[in-house]
Amino acid sequence: MARYTGPVCRLCRREGEKLYLKGERCYTDKCAIVRRAYAPGQHGQSRSKTSEYGQQLREKQKVRRVYGVLERQFRNYFEIAEKKTGITGENFLAILEKRLDNVVYRLGFAASRNEARQLILHGHIRVNGGKVNIPSFMVSVGDTIEIREKSKNIHRMKEIKEQNETYKSPSWLESNIANLSGSVLAEPKREDIDIPIEEHLIVEFYSR
């Protein structure tokens, strides 16, 4: 199955809330949810009441779309979370948070996870001084993440520095926007994740 390459605003409308997939556009009046706050398609404005299974499915799909993960990999992450000690739902979200594309976004080096993914694929990111071009790479406590020295001078990176001059990263990360570098201070905790997610619905979905 290939990665979704269609209009991402359609995904936000399908889930009925902002997923912030479009970067700066999501904070303007051009946001699709602001303009058309109903699901896409011919019957988007006349959908019936969602069942319990439907609620679980929609929550699972929403989180998949937020982090840009395909179904098989998403399920694999859940199986890893199940085997770890602690609360499965929180373990699962921590795994998603530690993906390199999410970390680059959380550090303020990109306007969206999709842009962060492009930076990684194009070789602009260094982890502990070495090139990493795999968006799903899992960071560890103590890792340093930075924009490649030559890439710091490209126009987009200069824009990011100006736009995120006062950006504050989550407590488990340390970000230096001026130098476009950062580090992983600790494991992400549930309170560090500001996305409105009901992870228990995803646990219920996969536990059927």
Q: Where are the domains of the chain?
A: 1-48, 51-98+190-208, 100-184
**What CATH superfamily classification does 51-98+190-208 receive?**
Ribosomal protein S4/S9, N-terminal domain (1.10.1050.10)
What residues contact residue 125 under an 8 Å CB cut-off, 6+ apart? Answer: 100, 104, 119, 131, 132, 133, 145, 146, 147, 148
Contact 80, 65 (CB under 8 A): no
Same topology between domain 1-48 and domain 51-98+190-208: yes
Contact 15, 62 (CB under 8 A): yes
Contact 67, 102 (CB under 8 A): yes
The pairing of strands 181-184 and 173-176 is antiparallel
Q: Select from 3.30.1330.20, 3.40.50.2300, 1.10.1050.10, 2.40.420.20 the CATH code of 1-48.
A: 1.10.1050.10
Fold topology of 100-184: 3.10.290
Please give the chain's pLDDT, 208 residues, in tens: 456 566 665 565 555 565 656 556 555 665 555 556 555 555 555 566 778 998 899 899 989 988 999 999 999 999 999 999 999 999 999 999 999 999 999 999 999 999 999 999 999 999 999 999 999 999 999 999 999 999 999 999 999 999 998 999 999 999 999 999 999 999 999 999 888 889 999 999 998 8
Neighbours of 105 (CB within 10 A): 22
